[in-house]
Structures are given as structure tokens and as C-alpha cells.
Structure 1
């Protein structure tokens, strides 16, 4: 490719004006366009899509597949307000180029549109049309709106569960879809997937890939990432969803690498010591090629930060939507995995005091700058503050990927409560003393933790309580002590832990900075739309979760994975397979008569009073109806895959409705 052609196609965004003319880089009609060969060799096999609706524009997308010796292919775009595209209704009827350099994808921004209007679009190869897509522009800023309806989704793993939720979403009457990340999963599992995923999703085989010790392989090259997007978009349900509504998408980690930061991967404890710039750039380019987002990619920039996907949208006077990138600019995890030798203690199950002290030290060493402990990065944080502070809409929505809610567990107290319950079950005469027993045992275990050992633990406080029930030293040593000690975890677990330091709990100083900004500037009606964690949550985001009396500032709504393993299953695997955590099993789940009982929801609620709803054992999606008076969100929990078959519609097993009243920073669970 010569320099002139590179400049012309480098940003890969054609622009058409709805009055008919073709402008900007990448259009047809130039005298130096190459011979395009025969479009009859190509077909539409990956559907159509639209995205990033603005009052006067929307981005439309398609891809053609075939073989003509790696030459471009002419594809005609038509846009109309009428679904049958009569000639006199065509607002756009222009030739575009599908180029092999961009995997024969087309991304075209249609401008000159009318605000708040439904449009239809299609592409043609000769006289062969693609599927018809429908889209809608946003209402102009300041326009009074009585309602917006949209869905937000996350975590659509090809290799887990099923995609029947997409079929349900297509049946809804929505203005747009918000995708908060994990559109693809970069790792392809090894071994059998029997019973874990619907059989219509065949096993994937990366063209290149890098094999991990467990037999799985992760995408490494541009060909790998393109292959994943092509595979995901081969599913007709995802195609139908894209064709039905414009999508506003942001990435999370799996579009590049699990638990990534900047251009660093974290499969091993020392992985992120090595930059993976080529891999990061490949992942970014494939996302850019396959998502209809109004962003630019600078292929001439050798940095891994050659793309900016954080951006803002306005819908009349009702809502501002900020979509942030919480991977490309974030600092390393506050406690690097290399320092712990594994993810536990760094990303997961991190002692809260250690995390806070390490973060404070990094801030101090940086002259009180947030840069070394930031998820957003300095420039994006300033942009966020400017946009949310200057928004003139009733609601400020934040497409945020990772939950802002504090999720902590005090293991000392939790274990004391478990053992107190076990003592009462063994001796019903102690039932009136259960609370006192738990408090006394918590005090004794705290003393053991301070000493660093259970050796010579006298259980002084507990003995005093039990003496009220006539249990003397002999009876204690013979009956009580053995029961207690059979349930004690490793001494190091007697602490308060942050469950997931990869999400906002691991970037607490910046979270406090953002909440302080909202509080100081009186910015109200801020609601985050989050995902990533594979469970449904809702609750209050506090100005400082560690304060004696924290103040709620905004609300976080977290959707479960649309098709993923659940959060409960992940923690269940830990307590079942890691002996160090086996004593905590009852905090996660139990089995009664062979039936799984989810204890994790109650455990989280017990130690996080700001959480209003928790469902850690669910896949699904969230539907939102927004009015000037309230935000109403319905969590749809899906039925599970059975025998390799997705459930028949309706795929929803249950729903939970949550409301956020305008002017409040709280969630009412109905």
C-alpha cells in the first residue's frame, strides 16, 4: 500500500450525507480506486448493524465474505425512512468499498439525518440485498422527552450457556442497546464442553492462538481476533439483535485479555511485566472493524493507545450517556500479581487494609497524584468530570463496565457467625445465646489473628458466655473446642477482604475522587450501568465506603452475563478445589437434599449494607425504562441450557424490578 492510499484508508470510516453526496475519506468515485473484480464472488453472511446514534448521524456496518484475489469489493449502501426502499425514498444510495485490509468490513457514518427518527438501511452486492436493518437517531439536545427504553448487556461468551436472551431482546421496543463489554471472549476452552453450552455453538479453533497450561488457547494475532468476531457474528440471533436496534458498545477485558491493563496480559503472575503491544493493537483493530462505533483508529500510531473509544451521547433533555474505557489507560493493579505469585491476594480476596495501605503509598510516592492508582487515566478522568458536570439532562448514565459497589467480607465475623450457628444446632439450649456466642468468638478469633496463631487460644470471651449456660471448662474442652477447631480457616483468612480488586474496589482512591466531584458540584441522578462480574447487583455508591457514616452519591446497576459462568460458580470452584478456602464453603453455598443452596448472596448483603439486590447465580440482561421521574430497571434471569439446547421462548425464568426515583441515590427493589 502506498503512502497516499494509506492516508486515505487509514482511519477506515466512510461518511455519507443523507442528501446523497459522498464525502470524507474512503468513499467511492475517486479516479484512483483499484479494480474491484466481481462482487458475485461475495455474500453477506454476518448481517448488518448500526450504532452510536446521534441527533444527525448513525454508524452502519456490514461485512462481505468471498474471494477475488484480495481486491476491494463495491458494496452499495441504501438508507430510507421506508422499509421497502422505494427509489424516491432513498436518502442514501451510494457505492462503498469493502477492503481486504479491513477484513472486508464496512463502517459508514450516515450524516444529515433528522433527530429522533426511525431509518432503515441495507447493503447491496450488485442487485443482491443484505438483511434490512433498522435504526433510530437520538433526540436533539434539549428536546423534551417523556421516555427512553433501552437494554444493557454484558459478557456474551460463545462457549458458555446460551444466547436465547438475544431472541427475547429482539422482541422488545427499544431505542438502543448498551453493551458494557466482553462482546467476545479471547480464550477458547480446551477439552469437552458437553452440557456447558448449547450445541448450536460449535467449538472454536483459533487460526494461531497461544496454548495455556489448562489446554485452552487465547487469541494472539489479528487473524485470531477477527476469527472470533466472525464466529460470534455468524449466530443469527446476534445478527437479528444488531439489525433491530443501534448499539452503543464499549469493551471490557476479554476483547483483549482477561483482567488486562493497558497492553499487559495477566494469565501468569509475571505476564504483565512484558508489554504485548502487537496483541493489544490487533485486539483493538478487530473491535474497531466489527463494532459500529463512531471512533477513530490511527494505524500510523505505533502505540497501543492508537484508539480512543470513550465517548458521550445526549438524548434530548432526559439523559446523558457516558461510555468509559476502563482497560486501556488503567494503572497496574494496586497489588501486582507478581508480588503474591497468583491472582488471589492481588486481584481477588485481597486484605482490605493491605490494599488501602499500598494504594496510599503509591499516591504519596507520586506526589499525591492518582496516576499510579487510576482506572480511567488522568485525561479520561478529566473528560468524565467535564461531561458529567456539564450535563444539562435530568439523568446522567454511565456505561461503566466494572461495578462501583464495595464488595467485602469480614471473615473473622463471618466464621464466628457460622460456628455460633453450628453450636446452637448441636445444642438447642444455646439458642438464646447465639448472638452473644458469635460476638465472643469474634473477639477471641481477633486475638488469635493478632497473635498470628491459634496455638494457646484460651477462648476467654466465649467461655464466659457459655458459662451462663452451665458449660464448664471440662465440658468446653471435651465438646465445644473440637467443634470450633474443626471449622477454623487458616489464620491468615481472619481478616476483612475485598473480593475483587480488578473492579472499582481495587481503585478506591479514584472512585472517592469521582464521588467527591459529584458531591461537591451537586450532580444528581447519576446511575452506572455495569457488568463484568457475572451476577445481578444494585446499590448505592458511597462517597467513602470506609467512613464511619458514608454518604450515598449515586447508584450502580449491574447486569449479569448474558451468556457466562456465574459468579457463584466461580467462588464455588474456589472453596471446593483450594484447600486453603475449604473452611469458607458455607459462606458460598451448601447442599440440602442434593439441592444447591446459594449462601453467597446473603454473605455479601451481610457485609455490604449499601447493596440492595444481589443474585450471584444468574445469567441474563437488564431492561430500562427512563422517565423524568424515575428509572425502572428489570433484571431478566434466564433459564439454563439443558442437554445442549437453549430454552424455548420465553427464555426468562424470573424477573426483578428495581426503581431509582429522581433526586435520590438509592434503589427500591420491588
Structure 2
């Protein structure tokens, strides 16, 4: 921070230079207030949010704490009391034995400075210490009156020209206080790290929202906003609005000793996402459903945005600029970059403060209802043709008035986008990592194929019954029965179908080819299409070897369903006779198109994404990997130059997305949203009743969203493994002690393997959804998970371990935190990710 900035911000931000002897904090303000000018705090004090550091550079660090009198409430606002000063002591001597305790710091100091403690900043302290040695571990402690803070630790970055053999760090995101547990933080604290990257949603601005009403660990009590505003009406969920509200959330979140332990042990490099202000935010606009201006436009809340900015600045240990005198909501700049020797450049972006409105605004009027569209159709499940058209119109409009066409369709804003391009082009490190809030991966859905698959699946049971009944009338000949039912399904009369099936059987008996069989069927009166599906069904039953009557009927039924019904729906869409026969034509007609699942992420700013990828491709900028949060899932895949090109385009970089620490999963959100959509809900979840001896039935919602989005076709074994974490959580909720959970899970899964609903119906459904072929660039996806990601980076490769955590055990975090680890590897020199 330069001298001019320090003078502007006054005594809240202080800077000193490390030395063998203690120095007072340098700088001053117009009022002359500085740490050395204030009386030292005396008496009993405490540090209820402990200590923290951030933004490690080769020669500096940002240190943070909050101190209050010992009798004060831990999270109440500091509204009175004289300003005072506290001490900061820093040493490079190993104090690892004292880490996380308030034992006195030992060893020669490199800094011993007095820092101001002021009520106007809620007694928070931000201090930048410069003059440090690169790649060095330091220990520090604050002292207020008679009391010491816990001992903290940080490691400075290596020098820019240093040869670095390895870096290891965790990136994390989405830590909702109000749901699930923070056990992942205990696991992170035990890792051997150089630093932590936090990608946002450090707090959640809402209290009592629908997605926050699930089970939560008992150590997280209910949040009570000092001033909160009701989201709707005069009851229910509230959202943070005032500076006191946002400060309260940071203070409350950081009273958890597990989060404190992370800050005590590792420097953070943090950015925000949306919930530090408001859900799916853009600039200073609120996007809650039903919250619009009288003219239908989004509700802009400049004061609220500024309050959110200030609280983040006060409580996050980030070396960024903030201008309280700036009356706009863009009074803070958090995008910045970090160099870690020759190995890595880390570019951190802000994808909320400068982004334009969602291409299709939530306030757009739905012609079917005459009311604002809301989130569905604007941010989520957006028809791609509509999106492409509106984006093109907005960009053309911007160009017409002399603006950069991306001005009205940007997630970064024009200035930050150019900064990002310049940073990527000038980077000399082996790896270029991008701290990226929202996923760059295309997440699309072909609605036509999905509905065709669902209708075909729904027909299988009826068709199998019909084949069985027909076979009984045909002397037990399932091949002939299958051909008859196939022809009837394709529109033939019963008499013609019987004649055609008989002719097909006769041709087969004489050794005829499938072509000869079809010709025989047509001579008996079948059309070419009817003969084709009849021959296919006959052949499936005769030549592939099903043995039991049930297997023969099932083989014939699946051949008819996926060989005729599905293609017919794909070709004719809402006009297919099978759509009409379903009785759901009106409900299904809107889904016969391609959809973008989430336009709050980069899919909603497609042209800008293509612009960035073209920049990387044209300038031969390689080894670029985004580390991403937001969507409460694990994903790994390639970011292509143009996802809409034939084959999905050419891979340019990789995106590795981490699940949230505790926030409910993407799957759970879509499961709840789709529950009222009838058959469409099957694209997301499958109700699975699991009998457990002595406990009754555990009802699970099996995650089919992964397969709909592109997960590889499963086996029974992989379905069982996918069920494990949710089943463990279900058993824990039934009261099974944790010591018995894993053995009980294994026993229940062994029984489930023999369950026909599981090994036949669910397996077939998952395989058919996987065969839709959506999003082939996705190499790994787990949309129903909580956890974090551990990165090990060397010159030759980047290894990211997706650490999924187990669910609550009763009202506590599990003792066995990590449920499974999936590894994504990116080798230097190629934008390819492999999974193990």
C-alpha cells in the first residue's frame, strides 16, 4: 500500500517494515491518529475471532485480529469505549509447539509494533508487514492489555525468480453456517500447506432460507441478524442489509474454532462470490424472486452493497484497496495476482462487482403468466436458442452506441477483462492458475433427447407385459410376440402385425438375413419402419440369448422402447404420438429444446468466455487451470474455445471445481426444484427405498443428475459406491453409532446389490441417461457432495484431490471426516485432465 492510500484510509490500515528491532507502525492520518499515539489497552481483553493472515508475497503479509474487553459479547457491535492500541509481535523462530494456543511467543522478533484499535471499525485490526524474507515461515501474536491472542503462523511466497519444486495448497468455498457441518475444516488444518485459497461464499447473507433449514451440527446455533430485512412479507427468511448485519455474520462465523484454526495456521488468498452480498449478485442488484422495482427492473441496493464491501474489507485478511469516500458501490478492488517463483502465477478475479445483468433478466415478463420470469428461465434451465438470440441483441445494441460489444454481456467488466488478458499474456511461470468464482464448463442439456429417453423408459414395463401376454397366445414364442408388439407399437393393426411377424419368423427359419426378414414383413403388409423394428425385436430375442421368460420380455420391450419410441419422440418432439399418449403434451412441450442449466456462471456469458479462450489459444498460453467454487459440486473438465462448435470445440484450458465446505449440494437444489415437474424429475433423482434389518426402511434420493449431465455409464458396483455416503448419512440419522456405521453400510450395500429395483431398474435408467451424451468435456462430476480440494503443483503436473466428506452423525460432524478422494491430474503441456 502506498503512502497516499494510507493517508486516505487513516489509522485503520497500518504498515510497518520488519526489522530485528521493533518499530512503531508508520504513517498517519489527517487526525493524527496512529497506533503509537493511542493509549495501550489495559486490563482483561480477548480475541473472540482469533487471528488471521492473508495475501502472502515474497516480502509482505497482511495480518488481522479483533480484540474486545473480556466482559464483552463475542459478536456484539463495539459501539462505545475509547480507542486504544494493541501490540503485534512477529518472529521467524519456530513456535510450532505454541501454534493455536495463547502461550507467549518465543524468540527474537522481526516486528514489535503498536496498532490502533478503534470502535468505528468494530475493533478490527488490519496491518501490513513488509520487509520480510521470501519463502520463510513466521509466527505472530497480538497482545491486548493483560491478554495474548493465539499464536498464528504464515509462510511468505518464494521470490519471483526462485526455482520452486513444489507448492501445496487447498482451495475451499461455500461454508454455510446454517446447514450440515464444518468437519472438513478439521481435515484441512491437518494438511501440510503453503497457503489456502478461498473462492467465496465465506458467509451467507440469508438466515432461515429454504436451503438452510436442513440438519445442522448442534455447535452452530441459530443466527440472529441485528437489523435483517424479511425477504418476503413480515415473516420467514431474512437477509443482511446493514453494516452491523454483515459484520455480525463474519464475527459469528469466525467464532468457530475450526475456522479459527485454519486462519491461525495458513495465510488465506480470498475473493468473494455472491453470498457475501446477495444470491446470484450482479453489481449492486438484488435478484431474489419477487424483489423487483415497480417498473419490473432488478432492485439495486447501493447502500447494502457498500455495507457488504466494507464488512468484507474489515474482516478478511486481504491486501486490497477500499475507498470509503467513494459514494459508489464500486469502492473496493479485490482482483489481484500473486507470483510463486517460476512455478505459478495465481490470478484472482472478481466476478460480481462489474458483471452486467444476466443476459435474460429475472424481471423479464413470462408471456404465459404475465409475471416476472424469476430465476427459472433466466438464470437456470435457460433455452439456449433464446439465450443466444438475446445475447447477440444486447451486444449489437452496445456496439450501436459505441461501446465494446461485451459491455452488456460481461462477467468481468471491460477493465478487469483486459487486465486478465494482460496478466495471462505476460506470465512467465510454468503454471497460470485462475481463482475463478463460477464454473467455466458448459453444462447443457438436450431436452428433446432427455424426454425421449424418459418416455421410452416409462414404456418398458407396459411393453414387457404386452410381450408376455402375446407370447402366451403365441405358444410361448417370445421372438414372434416381440415382433408383433413392436409392429403394433409402430402403428400396425393387430392383424397386419401378426402376419408380418409370422413372415419374419419364416424368413429367419430359412436362414434369411435381416434384410430378407424385413422384406418378408413388408410383403405381409408392414411398412418399412414397422418391419425394421419388428426384425430388430425378433433378433434381440432370438439371437442375444435371454433365457427366462421375464428376460425375453424385457429384452423385447427395451428394443421397442429405445429402437422405436425414443427415435420417434426425438424426430417429432411434441407432435409424437407417444407424447400425446402420455397425456402430458402440454407439460412437456416446453422442454423440446436445448437448455443451459446455470446462466449465473460462465454459460450465461458465453461470448466473453469465447473471447478469453481465443486470447489464450491465439497467444499460445498454456498450462492454464481454473480453480473454481460456487456450484456445490466437484467437476473436472476442459474449457473449450467454442462449446457450440462441432464436437464441442477444442480444449484450451482446464477447470477444476470444488464442492462447498457445508452448503447443500447442487443436486439437492435441483432435486427440490424438479420435484413438481413429474417425469422431468427423473432426470435428477430416483427414489430408492433401502430395507435395513432392525431399522426399517431408509428412503434415499439417488443422484441421477450426474448421469444426465454426462457421467460415464455405471455398473452395479459403481452405483453401490455412489450410494455409500448418502446411505451412511441415512443410517447415522437413524441412530446407528459411528463406530458401527461403516460395517453397517457395507452389509446394507451387499443386500442392495441383489435388489432388482437397484440392479435392474435403476441401473438401466442411469445407463440410458448417461447415453444422452451431454457435456462430453466433463471428465468427472459429483453433484451431491461437500468437501474441499487439495492441490499439489510441480513443474510437470498439477494434482487436485477432491476430498468428499461424510455427512452428519446425529448432530455432530463425523469423526471420520473424509469419505472418498478422487484425483484429477493435469500434465504440463496439454489441456487434458485425467481422473483416478
TM-score of the pair, normalised by structure 2: 0.73
Instruction: Give the match for residue 14 of structure 1.
Output: 14
Please name the residue that 1:204 is paired with.
223
**How large is the RMSD of aligned CA atoms in angstroms?**
2.4
Q: Tell me if 1:224 matches 2:245.
A: yes
Kept in 2, the 8 Å contact 1:631–1:661? The answer is yes
* Alpha carbons 1:10, 1:298 under 8 Å: kept: no
Aligned length: 634
In the other structure, the counterpart of 1:432 is 559
Q: Distance in 1 between matches of 2:161 and 2:37?
A: 46
* Aligned positions of 1:536-575 closer than 5 A: 536-549=634-647, 550-575=649-674
Q: Contact 2:598 / 2:604 at 8 angstroms: preserved in 1?
A: yes
Counterpart in 1 of 2:467? Answer: none
Range 318-327 or range 416-425, more displaced: 416-425
Equivalent position to 1:402, from 421, 438, 451:
438
1:464 equivalent in structure 2 = none
Q: 1:589 aligns with which of 668, 671, 685?
A: 685
Identify if the C-alpha distance between structure 1 residues 178 and 383 changes in structure 2 by more than 3 Å, giving closer, same or farther. same
Maintained 8 Å contact 1:487/1:583: no
What's the TM-score, normalizing by structure 1?
0.90
**2:251 pairs with 1:233:** no
Specify the alignment match of 1:620 in structure 2. 787
Cα deviations by residue, 1:314-362 (Å, 9 ceiling, x for unpaired): 1011110000000000001100111041111111111001001100111
1:658 pairs with 795, 805, 824, which one? 824
Shift of 1:12: 3.0
Structure 1: distance between partners of 2:211 and 2:776: 41
After TM superposition, give the deviation of residue 41 of structure 1 in Å: 4.8
Alpha-carbon distance in structure 2 between the residues aligned to 1:543 and 1:192: 35
1:488–1:664: structure 2 CA closer, same or farther, 3 Å change rule? farther
Q: 2:27 aligns with which of 1, 5, 25?
A: 25
User: CA offsets per residue over residues 462-514 of structure 1, 9 Å max, x none?
Assistant: xxxxxxxxxxxxxxxxxx974x4469843112111111100100000100000
Q: CA deviation at 1:582?
A: 2.2
CA contact (8 A) 2:636 2:780 kept: yes
Deviations 1:350-387 (A, max 9, x none): 10010011001111111162011000000000000011
- C-alpha separation in 2, matches of 1:424 and 1:179: 48
| Aligned: 1:388 with 2:420 | no
2:306 aligned with 1:281, yes or no? yes
Q: Greater RCO between the two (CA within 8 Å, min separation 6)?
A: 1
Match of 1:48 in 2: 51
Q: Cα deviation per residue 1:133-186 (whole Å; 9 max; x = unaligned)? A: 000000011211111000000100000110111011000100010000000000
Change (3 A) 1:87 1:573: closer
- Deviations for 1:270-321, whole angstroms, at most 9, x for unmatched residues? 2663321111111000000111101011111111111100000010111100
Which residue among 336, 347, 357 is the counterpart of 1:332? 357
Deviations 1:196-231 (CA, angstroms, capped at 9, x unpaired): 111100001000010123701000000000000000
The CA deviation string for residues 635-666 of structure 1, in whole angstroms up to 9 with x for no partner, is 11111113221111x31111111111111112
> In structure 2, which of residues 320, 335, 340 is the aligned counterpart of residue 315 of structure 1?
340
In 2, the alpha carbon distance for the partners of 1:303 and 1:662 equals 43
Query: Are the equivalent residues in 2 in contact too, given 1:185–1:254 (CA < 8 A)?
Result: yes
Residue 255 (1) aligns with residue 276 (2): yes
On the 8 A contact 1:541/1:553 being kept in 2, the answer is yes
Structure 1 residue 435: deviation in Å?
3.9
CA distance in 1, matches of 2:686, 2:251: 41
Q: Distance in 2 between matches of 1:192 and 1:361?
A: 35
Cα separation, 2, equivalents of 1:503 and 1:193: 22
Task: Give the Å deviation of 1:445.
Answer: 3.9
Q: CA deviation at 1:415?
A: 1.1
3-state SS, counterpart of residue 357 of structure 2: coil
Equivalent residues of 1:488, 1:583 under 8 A apart: no
**Secondary structure of 2:646's match?**
coil
Tell me whether 267-276 or 329-338 shows the greater mean CA deviation: 267-276
Partners of 1:668 and 1:192 in 2: how far apart?
Answer: 33
Distance 2:607 2:561 in 1: 38
Match of 1:306 in 2: 331
For 2:565 and 2:68, locate their aligned partners in 1 and report how far apart those are by CA, in whole Å.
65
What's the counterpart of residue 396 of structure 2? 364
Q: Distance in 2 between matches of 1:629 and 1:202?
A: 46
Q: Does residue 569 of structure 2 align to residue 442 of structure 1?
A: yes
Partner residue of 1:264? Answer: 285
State which of 792, 797, 801 in structure 2 corresponds to 1:630.
Answer: 797
Instruction: Check the 8 A contact 1:55/1:113 in 2, yes or no.
Output: yes
Shift of 1:193: 6.9
Unaligned runs of 5+ in 2: 73-77, 96-103, 366-371, 465-553, 690-698, 711-772
Residue 274 to residue 145, structure 1, CA distance change in 2 (3 Å) = same
Distance 1:595-1:23 versus aligned 2 partners, 3 A rule: closer
Structure 1 residues 146 and 488: alpha-carbon distance in aligned structure 2, compared to 1, 3 A threshold: farther
Name whichever structure is richer in helix by fraction.
2
Q: 1:195 to 1:609 in 2, by over 3 A?
A: closer
Does the CA-based 8 Å contact 2:637-2:654 persist in structure 1? yes
**Is it true that 1:163 corresponds to 2:182 in the alignment?**
yes
2:382 to 334, 341, 350: 350
SS at the partner of 1:45?
Answer: coil
Q: CA deviation at 1:87?
A: 6.9
Matches within 5 A, 1:479-628: 482=581, 484-485=582-583, 489-549=587-647, 550-576=649-675, 578=676, 581-593=677-689, 594-605=699-710, 606-628=773-795
Q: Secondary structure at the match of 1:359?
A: helix
